[in-house]
Amino acid sequence: MSRPRKRLPAALLVPAWLRSWARRHAYSFLSSLGSIARQPLASFMTIAMLAITLSLPAGLYVALDNIGRAAHGWERLDTVSVFLDRGLGRGEAVQLASLVSTWPAVSAVDPVSPDEGMAELAGRLQLDDLARELNSNPLPWVLEVALATGENAQLVAARLEDAEGVDQVIVDLQWLDRLQAIVDLLRKMAALLAALFALAVMFVIGNTVRMEINSRHQEIRVLALIGATDGFVRRPFLYTGLWYGLAGGALAWLLTELGLLLLAGPVERLSASYAGAFALSSLPAGVVALLAGGSGLLGIIGAWLVVERHLKSIHPE
Q: Say how far apart CA 147 and CA 160 lie, in whole Å.
A: 12
Do 134 and 89 share a structural domain? yes
Same domain, 128 and 141: yes
Q: Is the pLDDT of residue 2 over 60?
A: no
Number of domains composing the chain? 2
**Are the beta carbons of 235 and 210 closer than 8 angstroms?**
no
Report how far residue 289's alpha carbon sits from residue 250's, in angstroms, rounded to the nearest whole number: 9
Q: Are residues 112 and 134 in the same domain?
A: yes
Residue 273 has pLDDT above 70, yes or no: no
pLDDT of residue 8: 47
The answer to whether residue 263 scores a pLDDT higher than 90 is: no
Task: Provide the whole-model pTM.
Answer: 0.65
Residue 19 lies in a domain: no
Same domain, 89 and 225: no
Among positive and negative, which fits the CA dihedral 302, 307, 308, 313? positive
**Averaged confidence pLDDT in the chain:** 79
Would you say residue 284 lies in a domain? yes
Residue 243 has pLDDT above 90, yes or no: yes
Structural domain harbouring 130: 78-172
Q: Give pLDDT, residue 146.
A: 82
Beta bridge partners, 111, equal 143
Residues 188 and 295 in one domain: yes
**Cβ contact 21:231 at 8 Å:** no
Asked whether residue 160 falls in the same domain as residue 114, the answer is yes
Is the domain of 64 the same as that of 82?
Answer: no
Of 221, 208, 217, give the one whose Cα is nearest residue 299: 208
Clarify whether residues 218 and 85 are in a common domain.
no
**Residue 10 belongs to a domain:** no
| Residue 105: CATH number of its domain | 3.30.70.3040
Residues contacting residue 82 through CB under 8 Å, at least 6 positions apart: 100, 142, 143, 144, 145, 160, 163, 166, 168, 169
pLDDT in tens, 116-174: 776 766 665 555 555 555 566 667 888 888 887 767 777 888 888 888 888 888 876 66
Q: Is the pLDDT of residue 181 over 70?
A: yes
